[in-house]
Amino acid sequence: MVDFGAGEPDFATPEHAKAAAREAIDANFTKYTPNAGVEELRTALAARYRADYGVEYEPQQVIVSAGGKQALYNTAMALFGPGDEVVTHAPGWPTIVEQIKLADATPVTVRTHAEDGFRIDPAAVISALTPRTRGIIINSPGNPTGAVIAESDLAIIADEAASRGLWVILDLCYERLIYEDVPHNLPRVLQERMPDRTVLTGSMSKAYAMTGWRCGWVMGPTSVISACGAIQSHATSNVCSITQRAAIGALNGPQGCVGEMLDEYRSRRDQVSEWLQADPRIRLVTPAGAFYLFPDISDLLSVDGIVTSAELAQALLTEAHVAVTPGEAFDAPGFLRISYATSMERLREGTNRILEFIRTSDRIPQLDAQSVS
């Protein structure tokens, strides 16, 4: 089986993070910590955002959570409730929509489109706002598309949100995995326009290959952080003490490991894109960030063959032994998500199997000789 479904890096956690964890164990740092996380970690997170974005946060404006998922959940539970509408975008990570529902609020999704590079159109976001809108959640770089919102587009959204007294929540899980040198100082865009209504969420998972450690965070006004703390104190309490020390080691140690991973992902992105586009029926938008390809495979579907992308994903699993994620998981039928967070050797094998399957399957419309040439 070749697994292209994984949403996590295939790299090892950086050595300086692991060393910090071992030191914590040897020092018996194994007791409860403050619910919001140790002050040293919250200070290190604030320092990282100061260095990366030039925005200022105090430790009391930061809470450490069990991954980016809990960070978003705490935020949703703290800010949203019955009768509220929350605008987000699709294709998108399904957890965002489900967490809005868990808060008894109503998700409103704004479509993005492959022909526009999955750009979040500020006009479309603004047109989705109603008197019931409470907040806007934006994920950039996005999962599954890898799309990056432009600073200018976010500024338009922020100005409108500020005029209406709305919250803007940024999911920055993939913030360190952007391939080109494009402006992406989203925290500063929001801080300059609406500091009292901005919430940032992030994670150690992707940039530092620390998915299993479970460490994320929320940054925002002290009132929001206090509310997140009240929720977390009765749900999970503090993040694992050893994880917190490992996170401090990662944040304060050498950052070259992040760039090395990004360079490798870029090589994989470019190579797999080239391989897959050998078949013109697979239409790709080059992702600007994260580590997923999200091809449009609607030309492979037909009413008398494989009808949906979910059926195609199942066929690839059972017949070609390649695991991919169907677009239906992201509210985007007709697409597949392919993670390239695996070795180049496995990527070559998996793409070969995909191409062979779609070339030979009698359930997929085949190209005529002229189209192939």
What is the radius of gyration, based on Cα positions, of the chain? 21
Strands 325-326 and 336-339: antiparallel
Task: Among 202, 221, 252, give the residue marking a domain's end.
Answer: 252
Q: How far apart are CA 170 and CA 139, in angstroms?
A: 6
Residue 367 lies in a domain: no
Q: Quick one: tokens of 5?
A: 């479904």
Q: Are residues 219 and 318 in the same domain?
A: no
Q: Are 167 and 134 in contact (CB under 8 A)?
A: yes
Torsion angle in degrees (nearest 10) through CA of 16, 21, 26, 31: 150
Q: Are residues 197 and 275 in the same domain?
A: no
Q: Are residues 198 and 71 in the same domain?
A: yes
Q: Are residues 182 and 47 in the same domain?
A: yes
Say what percent of the chain tops pLDDT 70: 98
> For residue range 43-74, what is the model confidence (pLDDT) as tens digits?
999 999 999 999 999 999 999 999 999 999 99
Q: What is the pLDDT of residue 202?
A: 98
How many domains are there within the chain?
2
Q: How far apart are CA 330 and CA 292, in angstroms?
A: 13
> For residue range 226-276, what is the model confidence (pLDDT) as tens digits?
999 999 999 999 999 999 999 999 999 999 999 999 999 999 999 999 999
Residue 339 lies in a domain: yes
Q: Are residues 142 and 284 in the same domain?
A: no
Q: What is the pLDDT of residue 373?
A: 40
Q: Is the pLDDT of residue 192 over 80?
A: yes
> For residue range 93-120, what is the model confidence (pLDDT) as tens digits?
999 999 999 999 999 999 999 999 999 9
Q: Is the pLDDT of residue 368 over 80?
A: no
Q: Is the pLDDT of residue 367 over 90?
A: no
Residue 368 lies in a domain: no
Q: What is the pLDDT of residue 372?
A: 47
Q: State the average pLDDT for the chain.
A: 97
Residue 371 lies in a domain: no
Q: Is the pLDDT of residue 364 over 50?
A: yes
Task: Among 232, 252, 272, give the residue marking a domain's end.
Answer: 252
Q: Are residues 41 and 170 in the same domain?
A: yes
Q: How far apart are CA 329 and CA 310, in angstroms?
A: 9
| Alpha helical stretches, state H, 27-129 | 39-53, 67-79, 94-102, 122-127
CATH code where residue 318 lies: 3.90.1150.10
Q: Are 245 and 24 in contact (CB under 8 A)?
A: yes
Q: How far apart are CA 167 and CA 178, in angstroms?
A: 25
Q: Are residues 275 and 355 in the same domain?
A: yes
Instruction: Please tell me the chain's helix, strand, coil percentages from 3-state DSSP, rounded to the nearest 5.
Output: 45, 15, 40
User: Is the pTM of the predicted complex or chain greater than 0.85?
Assistant: yes
Q: Quick one: tokens of 215?
A: 């460490």
Listed in sequence order, the residues at least 6 apart from 276 whose beta carbon sits closer than 8 Å to its beta carbon are 282, 284, 293, 295, 338, 351, 354, 355
Residue 70 lies in a domain: yes
Q: How far apart are CA 280 and CA 337, in angstroms?
A: 17
Task: Characterize 55-86 residue by residue with b for buried, 16 or more Cβ atoms within 10 angstroms of its Cβ, and e for exposed.
Answer: bebebebbbbbbbbbbbbbbbbbbbbeeebbb
Say what percent of the chain tops pLDDT 90: 98
Q: What is the pLDDT of residue 317?
A: 98
CATH code where residue 96 lies: 3.40.640.10
Listed in sequence order, the residues at least 6 apart from 346 whose beta carbon sits closer than 8 Å to its beta carbon are 2, 3
Q: How confident is the model at residue 369 (pLDDT cuts 50, 70, 90)?
A: very low
Residue 366 lies in a domain: no
Q: Are residues 49 and 123 in the same domain?
A: yes
Domain limits for position 145: 15-252
Q: Are residues 117 and 248 in the same domain?
A: yes
Q: How confident is the model at residue 370 (pLDDT cuts 50, 70, 90)?
A: very low
Q: What is the DSSP string of 238-279?
A: S--HHHHHHHHHHHHS--HHHHHHHHHHHHHHHHHHHHHTTS
Q: Are residues 107 and 244 in the same domain?
A: yes
Q: Report helix, strand or coil for 87.
A: strand
Residue 370 lies in a domain: no
Q: What is the pLDDT of residue 53?
A: 98
Residue 66 lies in a domain: yes
Q: What is the DSSP string of 104-154?
A: T-EEEEEE--GGGTT---HHHHHHT--TTEEEEEEESS-TTT-----HHHH
Q: Are 365 and 326 in contact (CB under 8 A)?
A: no
Q: Are 134 and 110 in contact (CB under 8 A)?
A: no
Task: Among 210, 227, 252, give the residue marking a domain's end.
Answer: 252
Give the closest residue to 297 by CA, choosing from 370, 371, 141, 285. Answer: 285
Report in angstroms the alpha-carbon separations of 372 from 166, 279, 335, 355. Answer: 52, 8, 22, 13
Q: How confident is the model at residue 35 (pLDDT cuts 50, 70, 90)?
A: very high
Q: What is the pLDDT of residue 203?
A: 98
For 132, other C-beta atoms within 10 Å of its C-beta total 12
Q: Are residues 161 and 95 in the same domain?
A: yes
Q: What is the pLDDT of residue 24?
A: 98
List phi, psi (to 5°) of 336. -130, 145
Q: Are residues 178 and 74 in the same domain?
A: yes
